[in-house]
């Protein structure tokens, strides 16, 4: 099944609804990281330049579906940021009634997650959203794993629906991973192995080496019967982890950075020498340096998840070393996930990454081989309807 793209449609004079993912970090009323906004610009500008009347729809965070604006999750800072980039005003509509009677050439619906029914994919909400819509464009790759009213439901209520340029770019980069040059190296970190178990199983079949760090590695070390003291771990997962932990493709840290607690002195230790007093906060950079040959010879590297508590400088060295090894390698590199992009930014290696996905959960589900419901809905629509309503 094929997707249809914006370029398959005539835009002029159409009322276009664009579902983007502008779920960006906000601090003190300002957008902290503009990556997702910047990456949505190509589609937004194309629609406006072609003379479309545009309504932007996005979510921000995880507010209550109360049908009320909750200031903390308001899209105002995002609209302000976007207005500067587009150099034109954006009218924020706070209700569906206001949206449906809006005369604005460029409008933004307040956070779609304020609206009752978004997350349970309510047909009423989807219908109301698309009341005045000639063409629905989905460019929210980072939300494509969510079967919500604004990503999936709406497709049933419009004549025309297609994907935007960002979805095209994301899929082309990830399809590159499907045809990846070997050896393939996966680097996975993060806190909870329970959220990445099926990803680990499917990646282990595909890659030549799978390097684990963070809480994922702690749980594997614990499952192997090693002393890990008070380190972050998921004891309930030990049985599941035992099924793959001895797979020779999986590389676990041999050295870690430990401390009694976050404030105490940090020491490097061999993973076989840990005591009850130790808490692992990072993987030792020396471990990644010892893998330099693997990074250097890799044809493709995919990275998701920090190797430790990288938000604190003293526990960020392992993550920064991974970033450095990836940046120095000639491999085609793909990096995805909010924390991982922050880590790559902190390491100053963004320019050395071949593809930076805007997605977190959707990126991981794609790598797992799962189908993404928002993309499926668009593909189904493409099968049912002729191009441009012809």
Q: Cβ 110 to ligand 3PG, closest distance in Å?
A: 16
Can residue 120 be called a binding residue for ligand 3PG (CB under 6 A)?
Answer: no
Site map (CB under 6 A) of ligand 3PG, residues 211-250, x = contact: ----------------------------------------
Beta bridge partners of 17: 55, 136
Can residue 146 be called a binding residue for ligand 3PG (CB under 6 A)?
Answer: yes
Name residues contacting ligand 3PG, limited to 311-340 (CB under 6 A): 338
Contact region for ligand 3PG (CB under 6 A) — 138-146, 285-293, 318-326, 349-357?
Answer: 138-146
Distance CA 282, CA 284 (A): 6
Among 63, 229, 299, 361, binds ligand 3PG (CB under 6 A): 361
Helical H segments across the chain, by residue range: 35-49, 76-86, 96-100, 123-129, 165-178, 197-206, 214-223, 238-242, 285-290, 292-297, 317-328, 338-346, 361-368, 373-384
Can residue 128 be called a binding residue for ligand 3PG (CB under 6 A)?
Answer: no
Q: In 3-state terms, what secondary structure has residue 219? A: helix
Can residue 184 be called a binding residue for ligand 3PG (CB under 6 A)?
Answer: no
Can residue 74 be called a binding residue for ligand 3PG (CB under 6 A)?
Answer: no
Distance CA 319, CA 307 (A): 5
Can residue 23 be called a binding residue for ligand 3PG (CB under 6 A)?
Answer: yes
Q: Identify which of residues 22 and 220 has a Cβ nearer to ligand 3PG in the complex.
A: 22
Kindly state the tokens that stand for 376. Answer: 């499926």
SS (H, E, C) 349-363: CHHHCCEECCCCHHH
Among 1, 45, 51, 62, binds ligand 3PG (CB under 6 A): 62
Q: Identify which of residues 47 and 142 has a Cβ nearer to ligand 3PG in the complex.
A: 142
Contact region for ligand 3PG (CB under 6 A) — 139-147, 210-218, 222-230, 291-299?
Answer: 139-147
CB-based burial label for 15 (10 Å; 0-12, 13-18, 19+):
middle
> Which residues, including other chains, have CB under 8 Å from residue 190's CB and lie 6 or more apart?
196, 214, 215, 216, 304, 305, 306, 337, 339
Q: Cβ 146 to ligand 3PG, closest distance in Å?
A: 5
Kindly state the tokens that stand for 204. Answer: 């282990």
Site map (CB under 6 A) of ligand 3PG, residues 336-355, x = contact: --x-----------------
Among candidate residues 101, 98, 150, the one with its CA nearest the CA of residue 124: 150
Kindly state the tokens that stand for 101. Answer: 């009677």
Can residue 117 be called a binding residue for ligand 3PG (CB under 6 A)?
Answer: no
Q: Cβ 63 to ligand 3PG, closest distance in Å?
A: 10
Distance CA 9, CA 133 (A): 14
Q: Are strands 300-304 and 332-335 parallel, antiparallel or unpaired?
A: parallel
Can residue 258 be called a binding residue for ligand 3PG (CB under 6 A)?
Answer: no
Can residue 143 be called a binding residue for ligand 3PG (CB under 6 A)?
Answer: yes
Contact region for ligand 3PG (CB under 6 A) — 9-17, 140-148, 200-208, 305-313?
Answer: 140-148
Kindly state the tokens that stand for 233. Answer: 């771990």
Kindly state the tokens that stand for 201. Answer: 């199983």
Can residue 21 be called a binding residue for ligand 3PG (CB under 6 A)?
Answer: yes
Q: Cβ 343 to ligand 3PG, closest distance in Å?
A: 16
Contact region for ligand 3PG (CB under 6 A) — 67-75, 142-150, 244-252, 300-308?
Answer: 142-150
Q: Cβ 311 to ligand 3PG, closest distance in Å?
A: 17
Distance CA 140, CA 303 (A): 21
Rg value, the chain, Cα:
23
Contact region for ligand 3PG (CB under 6 A) — 84-92, 141-149, 225-233, 260-268?
Answer: 141-149
Q: Identify which of residues 62 and 131 has a Cβ nearer to ligand 3PG in the complex.
A: 62
Q: Identify which of residues 151 and 329 has a Cβ nearer to ligand 3PG in the complex.
A: 151
Distance CA 263, CA 286 (A): 22
Judged by the rule CB under 6 A, the positions of this chain that interact with ligand 3PG are 21, 23, 62, 142-143, 146, 338, 360-361
């Amino acid at each position: 099944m094929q997707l249809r793209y914006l370029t398959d449609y005539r835009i002029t004079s159409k009322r276009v609804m664009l579902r983007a993912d502008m779920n960006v970090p906000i601090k003190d009323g300002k957008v902290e990281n503009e990556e997702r906004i910047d990456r949505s610009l190509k589609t937004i500008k194309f629609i406006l330049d072609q003379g479309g009347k545009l309504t932007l729809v996005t979510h921000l965070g995880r507010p209550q579906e109360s049908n009320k604006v909750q200031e903390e999750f308001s899209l105002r800072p995002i609209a302000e940021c976007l207005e500067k980039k587009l150099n034109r005003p954006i009218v924020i509509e706070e209700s569906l009634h206001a949206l449906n009677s809006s005369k604005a050439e460029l409008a933004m619906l307040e956070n779609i997650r304020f609206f009752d029914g978004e997350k349970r994919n309510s047909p009423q909400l989807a219908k109301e959203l698309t009341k005045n819509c000639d063409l629905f464009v989905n460019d929210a790759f980072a939300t494509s794993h969510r079967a919500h009213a604004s990503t999936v439901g709406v497709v049933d209520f419009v004549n025309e629906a297609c994907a935007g340029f960002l979805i095209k770019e994301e899929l082309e980069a990830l399809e590159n991973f499907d045809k990846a040059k070997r050896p393939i190296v996966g680097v996975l970190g993060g806190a909870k192995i329970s959220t990445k178990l099926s990803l680990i199983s499917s990646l282990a079949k595909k890659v030549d080496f799978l390097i684990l760090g963070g809480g994922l590695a702690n749980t594997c070390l614990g499952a192997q019967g090693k002393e890990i003291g008070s380190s972050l771990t998921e004891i309930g997962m030990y049985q599941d982890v035992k099924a793959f932990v001895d797979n020779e493709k999986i590389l676990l840290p041999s050295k870690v950075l430990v401390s009694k607690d976050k404030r105490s002195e940090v020491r490097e230790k061999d993973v076989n020498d840990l005591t009850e007093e130790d808490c692992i906060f990072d993987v030792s950079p020396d471990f990644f340096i010892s893998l330099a040959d693997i990074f250097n010879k890799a044809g493709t590297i995919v990275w998701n998840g920090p190797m430790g508590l990288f938000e604190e400088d003293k526990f960020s060295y392992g993550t920064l070393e991974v970033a450095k090894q990836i940046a120095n390698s000639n491999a085609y590199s793909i990096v995805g996930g909010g924390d991982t992009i922050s880590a790559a930014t902190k390491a100053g290696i963004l320019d050395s990454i071949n593809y930076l996905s805007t997605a977190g959960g959707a990126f991981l589900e794609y790598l797992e081989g799962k189908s993404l419901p928002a993309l499926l809905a668009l593909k189904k629509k493409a099968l049912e309807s002729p191009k441009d309503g012809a």
